[in-house]
């Protein structure tokens, strides 16, 4: 993992002091709320329905045990004993008091963390494949580049007052777990015929009220050119992105209105004028960063573990958990463990302070001190010896963290919705809980198989409903919540935007509709066909017929 | 409007000329881009310096041919959240090599001071009532910058020589071909 050096430490401390000064000026009245708002937003501090909310950056979703324990401490001390992991690999605390926030930031700085640019119209926390550095299907570890971008985007002098927020995601694997096509900039490390790795650069993807998939503006970018090329993209956007209408201000609208070709031409023109060597870090800097991401101290192990095989034979629950939650590691004898934060009927992404500490302990003992946060609001222990899986499972079980539902119907993504969010038009957490209870029987879930249900509480789509196999969008009409269903969305390497199936459903009937859709799939699937495969084969009609016939 | 340069209030010798106003025979004047282009012959032949105010939608390229005759360019922030002028400043300084005074006008707040300096602004027209101490505290609160190739006094990592070698764990060190003191 990356470790701060003196430069990073000083930088983050100065940022805390700067924010403390800004808070003091707000409290004393020197700053109006209007002036303070963009300043607090640049440090992740929102004013929600009931209180402030602080969003803490977890850069590209990586944490160590010490950091997780500090998050638990903050949850206990300043929240109500909980933290909420978000779809952008961050964590949110819901009840901080304004004068306490600088202290919280101080606690974060103690463990090399911050809340810089987790909100506001600036470059947000860079996200990445949650299995980076561990997965078997990787061309190159994307984390050094994510870290490089984290540094480069932090307090960027030119790009801190953009037309709108800006999200970058990066992956280095064949399978896309970072949903790069749905980001303002999506970066894919790939390998060419000569065996070198470079970036494919996509621009203009996004969710919100106008969902779009990113367009490839550069099929091949030398890795060394990354920051200079990003600067060109950002400058074109900063100068020409629309500022007259908040809903048209994302870069996707600029790309759409100019056309991908013209947008690309403008970026390339700008890039040609940039003095790239001045901007790019010297080679030793990338080497310095890469050193931190060198493989951890794996033991030389046989790939198969007789202990694991025996335990799986003896214990069906354990075997099912291994089947769903454990995936292949690139190192022989190791596995990647996914920890579900989606207990049946629970709040997606919520973890108690005790659970955070339990995960921290396990990371330290059994995962070479590493934890990851996924954009699907789960956690990962990336480096667990296969022989330790049973013990890990037992510990997780003791903390209600052993749900064997990764990728299944109850592994639902939901945004905070009307329970917390000031922008919400409908509740999303209670809907997710309801659906989770309805489809919660594990035998049924396993039979239904891979299914991504995603719920947003308003058009802003923080719950990624456009990318849900089943997407649910909460809206409001004449004081009544209602829910629109989309089908066929996907955020993976074959990304697609879900299509609306028809009129919405009330909060009482939306769960029935989802169940009907699931049952319809079960009825029409062919051998081994997943929900998404089946939908792509048959289209929306059979689902529409079933849903609107019965409701 | 009070003017700040190098962390102090300074007298402003420049007058902003409305497009309809008569061009005075001497004194430093700031005119719009349109007026500059249409009356460039008159403007460059008079006594006194000439500055140009650019809207934040203007392409700096438009005054590129005249830059050697221009002593001041002012760029505006209609709202402090509208950051277009940061990129205009960068293009003027970097792509076009503009070396004259670059002035920030409009909604210019202390908390922007550091960024403004980094993209190449050197004078700041601030709202009346701005305290110079608050300005200097805010602009000096962060002394480091991750971005290479920008202006101002913030130090990049390459320039901060005190940075120690990374503390390596034994396994990292092995990969990096280094040894770790016990
Ligand atoms: S989708 Fe809407 S309701 Fe949900 S978190 Fe985002 S803004 Fe809030």
Question: A18 and chain B: CB distance < 8 Å anywhere?
Answer: yes
For chain A, domains (ranges, CATH) are 6-110 (3.90.480.20), 142-291 (3.30.413.10), 306-398 (3.90.480.20), 413-550 (3.30.413.10)
pLDDT single digits (tens) B93-111: 999 999 999 999 999 999 8
Residue B160 binned pLDDT confidence (cut-offs 50, 70, 90): confident
**Contacts of residue A304, Cβ cutoff 8 Å, sequence gap at least 6:** A386
Chain B interface includes A299 (CB < 8 A): no
- Best residue among A92, A349, A416 to mutate for probing ligand 1's pocket (most ligand atoms within 8 Å of CB) is A416
Residue B28: give its domain's CATH number. Answer: 3.20.20.70
**Mean pLDDT, to the nearest integer, of A196-222?**
96
Task: Note whether A519 and A547 are within 8 A (CB).
Answer: no
pLDDT given at position A39: 86
pLDDT at B167 over 70: no
Global ipTM? 0.92
Which pLDDT band, with edges at 50, 70 and 90, does B179 fall under?
A: very low
Dihedral (Cα; B109, B113, B117, B120), 10-degree rounding: -10
Of B84, B94, B147, the CB nearest to A152: B147
Tell me if A369 sits within 8 A of A64, measured CB to CB: yes
For chain B, the average pLDDT equals: 88
Q: What is the pLDDT of residue A551?
A: 57
Helix (H) or strand (E) holding A263: helix A260-273
Query: Smallest Cβ distance to B166: which of A3, A280, A295?
Result: A3
A412 close to A454: Cβ distance less than 8 angstroms: yes
Say yes or no to pLDDT of B177 above 80.
no
**3-class DSSP assignment, residue A259:** coil
Q: Is B180 on the interface with A (CB under 8 A)?
A: no
The SS3 assignment for B136 reads: helix
- Structural domain count, chain B: 1
Mutate to test the pocket of ligand 1, among A432, A463, A465, A484 (most ligand atoms within 8 A of CB): A463
The verdict on residue B43 lying in a domain is: yes
What is the rounded average pLDDT of the residues B56-68? 96
| Contact between chains at B146 and A154 (C-beta distance less than 8 A) | yes
Flag the least confident range among A38-47, A459-468, B109-118.
Answer: A38-47
Which pLDDT band holds residue B153 (cuts at 50, 70, 90)? confident
Report if residue B50 sits inside a domain.
yes
Q: Is residue B113 part of a domain?
A: yes
Give per-residue pLDDT as tens, A468-521: 999 999 999 999 999 999 999 999 999 999 999 999 999 999 999 999 999 999
* From A100-104, A277-281, A322-326, the region with the lowest mean pLDDT: A277-281
- Rounded mean pLDDT, B66-77: 97
Mean pLDDT computed over every residue of chain A: 95
Residues of B in contact with A291 (CB under 8 A): 166, 168, 172, 175-176
Distance CA(A137)–CA(A198), nearest Å, equals 16
Q: Does some domain include residue B86?
A: yes
> Could you read off the pLDDT of A256-281 as tens digits, one per residue?
999 999 999 999 999 999 999 989 99
Please check whether residue B13 lies inside any domain of the structure. yes
Which candidate, A434, A441, A396, A442, places its Cα nearest to that of A414? A434
Tokens coding B103: 């002035």
Sign of the torsion angle spanned by Cα atoms A258, A264, A268, A271: positive
CA B111 and chain centroid, separation = 14
* A11 CB within 8 Å of a chain B CB: yes
Query: Band of the pLDDT at A214, cuts 50, 70, 90?
Result: very high
CA angle A103, A104, A109 (to 5 degrees): 95
List all residues 6 or more positions away from A259 whose beta carbon is below 8 Å from its beta carbon.
none
pTM as predicted = 0.93
- Count helices and strands (H / E) in chain B: 6, 8
pLDDT beyond 90 at A191? yes
Q: Is the pLDDT of residue A402 over 60?
A: yes
Answer whether residue B54 is part of any domain.
yes
Phi-psi region of B164 (alpha: psi -120 to 50; beta: other; left: phi over 0): beta
pLDDT at A550: 65
Who contacts A193 (Cβ-Cβ below 8 Å, separation ≥6)?
A: none
List alpha helices for A158-242, DSSP H: 226-240
Torsion of CA A155, A159, A161, A162, to 10 degrees: -140
How far, in Å, is the centroid of ligand 1 from the Cα of A457?
Answer: 5
Residue A534 reports pLDDT greater than 90: yes
Q: Give the residue numbers spanning the domain of B88.
A: 3-152
Pair type for strands A379-385 and A371-373: antiparallel
Confidence of residue B176 (pLDDT cuts 50, 70, 90): very low
pLDDT for position A51: 85
A32-40 average pLDDT score? 86
Which residues contact ligand 1 via a Cβ below 6 A?
A 415-417, 421, 423-424, 456-458, 460-463
Residue B65 is assigned to a structural domain of this protein = yes
Query: Which of A156, A292, A296 has its CB closest to that of B147?
Result: A156
DSSP secondary structure code for residue A225 in this structure: G
Cα-based distances in Å from A152 to A9, A41, A113, A279, A447: 15, 19, 16, 10, 46
């Amino acid at each position: 993992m990356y470790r701060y050096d003196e430069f990073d430490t000083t930088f983050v401390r100065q940022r805390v002091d700067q924010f403390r000064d800004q808070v003091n000026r707000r409290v004393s009245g020197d700053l109006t709320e209007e002036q303070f708002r963009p300043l607090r937003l640049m440090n992740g501090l929102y004013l929600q329905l009931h209180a402030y909310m602080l969003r803490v950056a977890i850069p590209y979703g990586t944490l160590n045990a010490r950091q997780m324990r500090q998050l638990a401490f903050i949850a206990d001390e300043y929240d109500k004993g909980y933290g909420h992991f978000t779809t952008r690999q961050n964590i949110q605390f819901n009840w901080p008091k304004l004068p306490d926030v600088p202290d919280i930031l101080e606690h974060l700085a103690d463990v090399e963390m911050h809340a810089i640019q987790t909100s506001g119209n600036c470059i947000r926390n860079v996200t990445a494949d949650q299995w980076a550095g561990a997965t078997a299907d990787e061309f190159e570890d994307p984390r050094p580049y994510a870290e490089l971008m984290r540094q480069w985007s932090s307090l960027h002098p030119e790009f801190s007052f953009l037309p709108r927020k800006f999200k970058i995601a990066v992956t280095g694997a064949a399978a896309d777990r970072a949903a790069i096509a749905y980001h303002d900039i999506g970066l894919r490390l790939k390998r060419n015929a000569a065996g070198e790795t470079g970036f494919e650069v996509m621009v203009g993807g996004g969710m919100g009220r106008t969902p779009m998939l990113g367009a490839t503006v550069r099929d091949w970018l030398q890795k060394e050119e990354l920051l200079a090329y990003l600067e060109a993209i950002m400058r074109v956007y900063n100068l020409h992105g629309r500022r007259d209408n908040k809903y048209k201000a994302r870069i996707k609208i600029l790309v759409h209105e100019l056309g991908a070709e013209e947008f690309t031409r403008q970026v390339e023109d700008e890039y040609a004028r940039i003095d790239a060597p001045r901007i790019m870090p010297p080679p030793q800097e990338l080497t310095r960063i890469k050193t931190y991401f060198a493989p951890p101290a794996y033991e030389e192990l046989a790939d198969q573990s007789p202990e694991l095989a025996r335990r799986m034979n003896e214990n069906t629950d354990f075997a099912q958990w291994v089947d769903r939650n454990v995936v292949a590691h690139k190192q022989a004898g190791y596995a990647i463990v996914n920890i579900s934060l989606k207990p049946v009927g629970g709040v997606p992404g919520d973890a108690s302070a005790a659970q955070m500490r339990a995960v921290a302990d396990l990371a330290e003992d059994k995962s070479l001190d590493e934890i990851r946060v996924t954009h699907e609001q789960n956690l990962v222990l990336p480096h667990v010896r296969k022989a330790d899986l049973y013990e890990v499972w037992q510990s997780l079980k003791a903390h209600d963290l052993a749900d064997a539902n990764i990728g299944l119907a109850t592994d639902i993504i939901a945004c905070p919705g009307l329970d917390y969010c000031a922008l919400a038009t409908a509740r999303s957490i209670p809907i997710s809980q309801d659906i989770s209870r309805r489809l919660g029987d594990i035998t049924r879930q396993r039979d239904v198989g891979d299914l991504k249900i995603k719920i947003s509480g308003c058009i802003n789509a923080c719950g990624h409903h456009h990318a849900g196999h089943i997407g649910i969008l909460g809206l409001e009409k004449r004081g009544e919540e209602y829910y629109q269903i989309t089908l066929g969305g996907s955020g993976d390497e074959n990304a697609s935007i879900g299509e609306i199936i028809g009129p919405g459903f009330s909060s009482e009937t939306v769960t029935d509709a989802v169940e009907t859709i699931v049952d319809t799939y079960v009825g029409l699937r062919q051998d081994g066909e997943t929900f998404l495969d089946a939908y792509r084969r048959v289209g929306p009609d059979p689902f529409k017929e079933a849903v609107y016939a019965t409701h | 409007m009070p003017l700040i340069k190098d962390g102090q209030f300074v007298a402003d010798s420049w007058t902003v000329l409305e497009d309809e106003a008569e061009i005075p025979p001497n004194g430093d004047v700031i005119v719009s881009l349109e007026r500059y282009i249409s009356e460039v012959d008159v403007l460059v032949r008079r006594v006194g310096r000439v500055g140009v105010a650019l809207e934040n939608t203007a392409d700096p390229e438009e005054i590129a041919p005249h830059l050697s005759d221009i002593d001041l360019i002012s760029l505006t922030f209609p709202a402090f959240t509208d950051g277009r002028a940061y990129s205009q400043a960068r293009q003027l300084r970097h792509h076009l090599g503009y070396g004259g005074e670059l002035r920030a006008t409009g909604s210019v707040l202390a908390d922007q001071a550091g960024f403004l300096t980094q993209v190449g602004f050197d004078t700041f027209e601030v709202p009346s009532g701005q305290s110079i101490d608050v300005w200097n505290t805010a602009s000096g609160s962060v002394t480091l910058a991750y971005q290479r190739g920008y202006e101002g006094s913030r130090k990049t990592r390459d320039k901060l020589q005190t940075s120690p070698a990374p503390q390596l764990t034994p396994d990292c060190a092995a990969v990096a071909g280094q040894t770790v003191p016990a």
